[in-house]
């Protein structure tokens, strides 16, 4: 009789340990999957915004568009959150190899997950992006202007600055 009780105690404790290990492994896998999914989505949006900026620049820099304060606004239709997480968007330009290198950076707030995308625009570009990070806003608009002197001024409008 004692062998049956000892066997049941050992088997029950083994099953409880296996259950704890299974739950911990499932939680770790779920966290990993959500992190990877958020990274892929942010990379998609970073490429999307970068491409929208480059396409807008190419159109405005064309000789077919007169240099007479022509304005173009593109609604970016970005989500308010990415997988229920708030995010920030940062944009900036720096001169590199005879072009302006424009970089778009997405980051989940409070997380080390960062994705970026870069694009080249001409030296006649003036970047007027906010000096601080922009929080996720569904009304974010890319605003571009071809000035009378032929310069293309690019920036965001209808944005919310992060606190």
* Contact criterion met (CB below 8 Å) for 53 and 102: yes
pLDDT tens figures, 110-145:
888 899 999 988 888 888 888 777 887 778 899 999
Detail the DSSP E strand segments found in the chain: 70-75, 87-96, 99-108, 114-121, 125-128, 134-135, 141-146, 152-157, 160-161
**pLDDT of res. 8:** 82
Residue 54 has pLDDT above 90, yes or no: yes
Question: What are the boundaries of each domain within the chain?
Answer: 2-161
CA distance linking residue 155 with residue 121, whole number of Å: 13
Confidence at 1, pLDDT banded by 50, 70, 90: low
The beta strands (E) that lie in 109-140 are given as: 114-121, 125-128, 134-135
- pTM of the model as a whole: 0.80
Structure-token pair, residue 98? 């005879």
The pLDDT, as a whole number, for residue 97 is: 79
């Amino acid at each position: 009789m004692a062998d049956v009780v000892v066997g049941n105690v050992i088997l029950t404790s083994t099953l409880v340990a296996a259950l704890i290990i299974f739950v911990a492994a499932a939680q770790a896998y779920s966290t990993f999957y959500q992190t990877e999914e958020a990274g892929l989505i942010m990379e998609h949006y970073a490429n999307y915004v970068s491409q929208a900026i480059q396409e807008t620049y190419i159109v405005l820099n064309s000789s077919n568009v007169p240099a007479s304060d022509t304005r173009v606004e593109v609604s970016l239709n970005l989500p308010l959150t990415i997988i229920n997480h708030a995010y920030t968007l940062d944009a900036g330009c720096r001169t590199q190899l005879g072009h302006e290198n424009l970089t778009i950076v997405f980051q989940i707030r409070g997380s080390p997950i960062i994705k970026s995308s870069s694009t080249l625009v001409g030296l006649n570009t003036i970047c007027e992006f906010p000096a601080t990070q922009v929080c996720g806003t569904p009304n974010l608009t890319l605003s571009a202007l071809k000035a009378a002197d032929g310069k293309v001024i690019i920036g965001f409008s209808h944005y919310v600055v992060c606190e």
